[in-house]
Amino acid sequence: MFPKWFNDWNSENPTNIYGPAILIGALGGAVVLATLVVSWGNPFNDEFNQTGPRGTGMQIPSIATMTADPTLEEYYSEPPYPREEGEPLASEIYENVQVLGGVSEGNFNRLMNAMTLWVAPDQGCAYCHAGADEGDYADDSLYTKIVARRMIQMTQWINEEWGAHVNYNAEVGVNCYTCHRGENVPSEIWFRIDPVTEATEGWAAVQNRATVQSQFTSLPSDALYRYLYEDNIIVVHDLESRVAGTPGQGDYASIQDAERTYSLMNYFANSLGVNCVFCHNSRAFYDGAQFTPQWGAASLAIEMVRGMNNEFLEPLGPEYPEHRLGPVYADAPKAACKTCHKGYNKPMQGLNMAADWPELASTEPPVYE
The three-state (H, E, C) secondary structure of 323-337, written as one string? HHCCCCCCCCCECCH
Among candidate residues 107, 112, 116, the one with its CA nearest the CA of residue 89: 107
| Fold match, 74-158 / 188-341 | yes
Residues of the chain with pLDDT under 70: 1-2, 6, 9, 14-21, 36-66, 247-248, 369
Whether 129 has a binding-site annotation, put simply, is yes
237 marked as part of a ligand binding site: no
Q: Is 165 annotated as a binding residue?
A: yes
The pTM assigned to this predicted structure is 0.82
pLDDT of res. 240? 76
pLDDT for residue 264 = 96
CA nearest 308: which of 186, 219, 222, 211?
186
**How long is the chain?**
369
Q: Which CATH architecture has domain 74-158?
A: Orthogonal Bundle (1.10)
Torsions phi, psi of 50, nearest 5? -75, 130
Cis peptide before 195 (omega within 30 of 0): yes
**The pLDDT of residue 25:** 74
276 labelled binding-site residue: yes
CA nearest to 341, candidates 49, 69, 153, 115: 69
User: Exposed/middle/buried for 188, CB within 10 Å: 0-12, 13-18, 19+?
Assistant: middle
What's the pLDDT at 42?
55
Q: What pLDDT, on the 0 to 100 scale, is given for residue 39? A: 60
DSSP character for 79? P
| Distance between CA atoms of residues 234 and 226, nearest Å | 9
Query: pLDDT at position 67, please?
Result: 76
Q: Is 340 one of the annotated binding-site residues?
A: yes
How many Å from the N-terminal Cα to the C-terminal Cα in the chain? 74
Q: Is 353 annotated as a binding residue?
A: no
So what's the pLDDT on residue 246?
Answer: 72
To the question of whether residue 323 is assigned a binding role by annotation, the answer is: no
For helices 143-161 and 293-307, the axis angle rounded to 10 degrees is 150
Residue 304 annotated as lining a ligand binding site: no
pLDDT at site 66: 63
Nearest to 77 by CA among 341, 362, 355: 355
Choosing among 1.10.468.10, 2.60.40.1730, 3.40.190.10, 2.40.128.20, the CATH entry for 188-341 is 1.10.468.10
pLDDT at 62: 57
Q: In the chain, what are the domain boundaries?
A: 74-158, 188-341
What's the pLDDT score for residue 247? 64
The verdict on whether residue 348 carries a ligand-binding annotation is no
> 231-237: which pairs have CB atoms within 8 A and are 24 or more residues apart?
231/306, 233/257, 234/261, 234/264, 234/302, 235/261, 236/261, 236/262, 236/286
CB 238 within 8 A of CB 255: no
Query: Is there a binding annotation on residue 341?
Result: yes
- Residue 1 assigned ligand-binding role: no
